[in-house]
A and B are shown apart, each in its own frame.
Chain A
Amino acid sequence: MSFEKIRDPRRVRHWKGDMECDYIYTAGIAGEKFFTTIRDKAKLLATRCAKCKITYLPPRIYCERCQASLDNWIEVPKTGTIETFTTVHMDNNGAPLSKPITLAFIRIDETDGGLIHEIGGTKPEALKIGMRVEAVFQSKSKRTGALTDIKYFKPV
């Protein structure tokens, strides 16, 4: 017997269930410092491995190249360069979005890392790889210590 032509398992005899769990994650040692600094000061922090000459953003407490512990924290600019971008037309379940979202990977200045975030304050058609952008933060009262404390990045 073969069911290979049946794509929807609901069409054959089946048993339904879910995998329901709630999760509460901590941000970790590096994440705690990174996010509380965004929340309290609207500033981006990175860590640097002098030996490997790598500046980590998001920051880490270790260098992934040499495994040394890092405690060299530095403030980096809130500006960066669009490395790549895309416009998203569907949500996580594949349903169409009423308003498409433009996302970019932004290389933060003076670091070897960067952030994936929304682009605002411009039209998707105007975007180019290599474009300069800066972080726009939520007002202080709205910031909670999360990546969404940055509203979006906008062209400089």
Chain B
Amino acid sequence: MVKKRVAVIGAGITLFRRRLQETGKELSHYAVEMALDSAEMTRDDIESVVMGTAPDAFDGIHMKAENLLDGAGGARKPYTRVFVGGGTGVFAPIGGWWHVASGLFDTCLVVAEEKMSPCYPHPQTAFRTIWDPIITRPLEPNLVWIFALEMQRYMQIHNIPKEHIAAIAVKNKGNALDHPSAQLAAKITVQDVLDSEVMVWPVQRLDISPPSDGAAAMILASEDVARKYTDDPVWLDGVGWSLDSAYWTNRDLYFPEYVATAARMAYKMAKIHNPRKEISLAEPYDPFDYKEAHHTEGLLLADKGGAPKLTVEGQTFRDGDQPICPSGGLLGVGNPIAAAGLMKCCECFWQLRNEAGKRQVPKAETAVAQAWGDLMQIGTVTVFRR
């Protein structure tokens, strides 16, 4: 039972870069300060804090949410860490939504931080330890394997050419040229993607988002409190999440059923009956280009196998019928895991407030953000409305 309607009234974000000098606490502080300023609030106005941050093994600080607490504005406040792997960035505002929708608090500061640069020789090294230690780790897998396996299955089942997938990377890196935080914004061509180094076939260099450092923050408030601070709140009207079994080799990878389950939950709550017509823009999770397509389908915004064609035809560009990742996504803005998911929610907020500047999508009324994570397992979905 939702006791109170939840509004978003402020957001903040740092630069996303492969390596930032600031500690995780300092990055969290930057994002929080920006979010508080944007809402014209002080920390005294904040009743609760939710931290979203992915595996401790990246920052190399065990129990890192506790380490980040003071920079994130959590000192001496009800402070909670939520964690669902790569899905954490969109799960953090869902955690914030619980706090406010339940009536327990009138305000909640949501922070997401990731610092992947401390881990050597590569952040991939930390991913080695997410596998089942007995039946999978002895094969010495690399995390990119599962993406490549899923991508191959997805392309084969639907007979999708690689060129159509590459078009998504071209779009997102191009969109990111207008994002002031962006790490890998670039004007590239489909041929550039196809000519780039093969990492784990069919995944090539330009199909992948980078490892990054960065932080983001968002302020949630109950309806009556939100109206005291702004005439222009954005509503967090739907939340959904779903996790599938860890036995990822025991199901067909071509369609993310768990994302669809999460999306249906969020749409039902937001009273969205026809998502393709009612959603003005979407920010599906795009750590790889095919993932954007996969998740667009999971979000029920395209037929199964139909998403890549939407980009080839130009419909997913900012001026198209169905703008997707107008921010530039993880492929263009960067992928500090939890912060990247929250960046997507911030983008929805800015778009719905008509504050996205050069990135602005016309007539933005309703937006959906989604993140994904772990072993092909997790879908987290938020629906925003102006």
Chains A and B share a contact (CB less than 8 Å) = yes
Residue positions of A touching B, CB distance < 8 A: 15, 17, 19-32, 60-62, 64-69
Question: How far is it, in angstroms, between the C-alpha of A22 and the C-alpha of B134 when the chains are bound?
Answer: 23
- B1-42 near A? 1/0 per residue, CB < 8 Å: 000000000000000000001110110010011001000001
Q: Name the 4 nearest CB pairs between A and B, nearest first.
A: A28-B23, A23-B60, A64-B70, A62-B29
For A60, the chain B residues whose CB sits under 8 A away are 25-26, 70-71
Residues of chain A within 8 A (CB-CB) of B44 are 66
**Would you call A15 and B57 a contact (CB within 8 A)?**
no
Roughly how many angstroms separate A115 CA and B36 CA in the complex, as a whole number?
31
CB closest residue in chain A, given B37: A67
Question: B residues within 8 A CB of A68?
Answer: 33
Q: How far is the CB of B285 from chain A (nearest CB, A)?
A: 25
Other-chain residue from A17, A19, A66, A69 in contact with B43 (beta carbon distance below 8 A): A66
B32 touches A67 (CB 8 A): yes
Q: Are B22 and A21 in contact (CB under 8 A)?
A: no
CB distance from A70 to the nearest CB of B (A): 10
Chain B residues with a Cβ closer than 8 Å to the other chain, count: 30
> Knowing A65-B43, A66-B42, A67-B33 touch, does A19 contact B25 (C-beta < 8 A)?
no
Tell me the B residues contacting A by CB distance below 8 Å. 21-23, 25-26, 29, 32-33, 36, 42-44, 57, 60, 70-71, 73, 75, 117-121, 125-126, 129, 133-134, 137-138
Would you give the shortest CB distance from A19 to chain B, in whole angstroms? 5
Instruction: Tell whether, in the assembled complex, residue A22 and residue B121 are in contact, meaning their CB atoms are under 8 Å apart.
Output: yes
- Could you list some 14 contacts between A and B, CB below 8 A? A15-B133, A17-B133, A19-B57, A23-B119, A23-B120, A25-B60, A26-B23, A28-B21, A30-B23, A30-B26, A31-B23, A64-B71, A65-B75, A67-B36
C-alpha spacing A31/B71, complex, angstroms = 14
Q: Which of chain A's residues have a CB closer than 8 A to the CB of B29? A: 61-62, 67, 69
Distance between B284 CB and nearest chain A CB, rounded to angstroms: 30
Interface centre among A20, A22, A32 (most CB of B within 10 A): A22
Q: How far is the CA of A32 from the CA of B134 in the complex (A)?
A: 42
Beyond A17-B137, A24-B120, A28-B25, whether A64 also contacts B33 by CB under 8 A is: no
Of chain B, the residue at the smallest CB distance from A26 is: B21
In the bound complex, CA of A19 to CA of B131 (Å): 11
Residues of B within 8 Å of A21, CB to CB, are 57, 60, 119-120, 125-126
With both chains docked as a complex, state the minimum distance between the C-beta of A8 and any C-beta of chain B, in angstroms: 18
Chain B residue contacts of A29, Cβ below 8 A: 21-23, 26
Tell me the minimal C-beta distance from A10 to chain B in angstroms.
Answer: 15
> Which residues of chain A come closer than 8 Å to B42, judged between CB atoms?
66-67
- Contact call B120/A22, Cβ cutoff below 8 A: yes
In contact, B75 and A27 (Cβ under 8 angstroms)? no
Q: What is the CB-to-nearest-CB distance from B176 to chain A, in angstroms, rounded to a whole number? A: 25
B308 to chain A, nearest CB (A): 36
Q: What residues of B have a CB within 8 angstroms of the CB of A65 in the complex?
A: 43, 75
Cα A21 to Cα B126 in complex, Å, equals: 7
- Find chain B residues with CB under 8 A from A66 CB: 42-44
Check A61 against B133 for contact (C-beta < 8 Å): no
Cβ of A62 to closest chain B Cβ, rounded Å: 4
CA distance A24 to B115 in the complex (A): 11
Nearest Cβ distance between residue A43 and chain B, in whole angstroms? 22
- Whether B43 and A67, one on each chain, are in contact in the complex, defined by CB atoms closer than 8 angstroms, is yes
Name 5 extra pairs, CB < 8 A, besides A15-B133, A65-B43, A67-B42. A21-B57, A60-B26, A60-B70, A62-B26, A67-B29
Q: In the bound complex, how far is the Cα of B312 from the Cα of A77, in angstroms?
A: 66
Residue of B nearest to A17 (CB): B133
- Contact partners of A61 in chain B: CB under 8 A: 26, 29
Chain B residues within an 8 Å CB radius of A28: 21-23, 25-26
- Cα distance A17–B73 when bound, in Å? 38
A49 to B329, CA, bound (A): 37
Complex formed: what's the CA distance from A23 to B121 in Å?
A: 8
Is the Cβ of B60 less than 8 Å from the Cβ of A69?
no
* CB atoms of A24 and B26 under 8 A apart: no
Residues of A within 8 A of B71 (CB): 60, 62, 64
Q: Would you give the shortest CB distance from A29 to chain B, in whole angstroms?
A: 6
Contacts of A26 in B (CB 8 A): 21-23, 117-118
